[in-house]
């Protein structure tokens, strides 16, 4: 996929930054002229990915959340949400609906929600090194061509 535009940002893993991240990615993706439903789906998937970093990644140490968003010539938005936190011991298990390491107040549906609202989802993780969630969302709007 040919990347035609890209943005990067770094935020602290604080709940107040979740809304900022999803709006920033949505504003960036607006260049592809998405529908309200497409932008809503993207915002939901990004929110879940960022929330996972906030709730699970940095239980013991402090860190950052790194987000990149890329627009492709074939109208995909690709968002990577990365942390350098505790990592996930078993990604396959973690992607099962209702599985959580966050205690009784967590639903265990984060990855399921991300999958539902994206066209493709990749998760890679190493214990003690962190996790990368990559969200692929196809936008049916206009093709992006710089004048």
- Catalytic residue chosen out of the listed positions 106, 122, 127, 146: 106
48 as an active site residue: the answer is yes
> How many whole angstroms separate alpha carbon 13 and alpha carbon 79?
17
The pLDDT value recorded for residue 97 is 59
For residues 100 and 111, the answer to whether their CB atoms sit within 8 Å is: no
Q: Which of 18, 22, 38, 52 is catalytic?
A: 52
Domains in the chain, CATH or no CATH each: 3-138 (3.30.565.10)
145 or 25, which is more confident?
25
pLDDT at 147 over 50: no
Distance CA 137, CA 139 (A): 6
Q: Annotated catalytic residue: which of 17, 22, 38, 48?
A: 48
pLDDT digits (tens, 9 = 90+) for 75-111: 999 999 999 999 888 767 666 655 555 555 555 566 7
Q: Is 47 exposed, middle or buried (0-12, 13-18, 19+ CB in 10 A)?
A: buried
Examine the residue annotation and report whether 122 is marked as an active-site residue of this protein: no
Question: What tokens appear for 111 in the block?
Answer: 């990855």
């Amino acid at each position: 996929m040919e990347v035609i535009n890209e943005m990067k940002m770094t935020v602290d893993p604080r709940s107040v930054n979740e809304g900022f991240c999803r709006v920033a990615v949505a504003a960036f993706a607006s260049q592809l002229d998405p529908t309200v439903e497409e932008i809503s789906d993207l915002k939901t998937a990004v929110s879940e990915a960022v929330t996972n970093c906030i709730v699970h990644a940095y239980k013991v140490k402090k860190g950052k959340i790194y987000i990149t968003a890329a627009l492709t010539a074939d109208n995909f938005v690709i968002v990577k949400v990365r942390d350098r936190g505790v990592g996930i011991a078993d990604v396959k298990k973690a992607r099962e609906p209702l599985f959580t390491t966050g205690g009784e107040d967590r639903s265990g549906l984060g990855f399921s929600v991300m999958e539902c609202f994206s066209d493709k989802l990749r998760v890679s993780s190493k214990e003690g090194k962190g996790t990368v969630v990559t969200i692929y969302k196809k936008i049916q709007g206009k093709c992006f061509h710089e004048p």
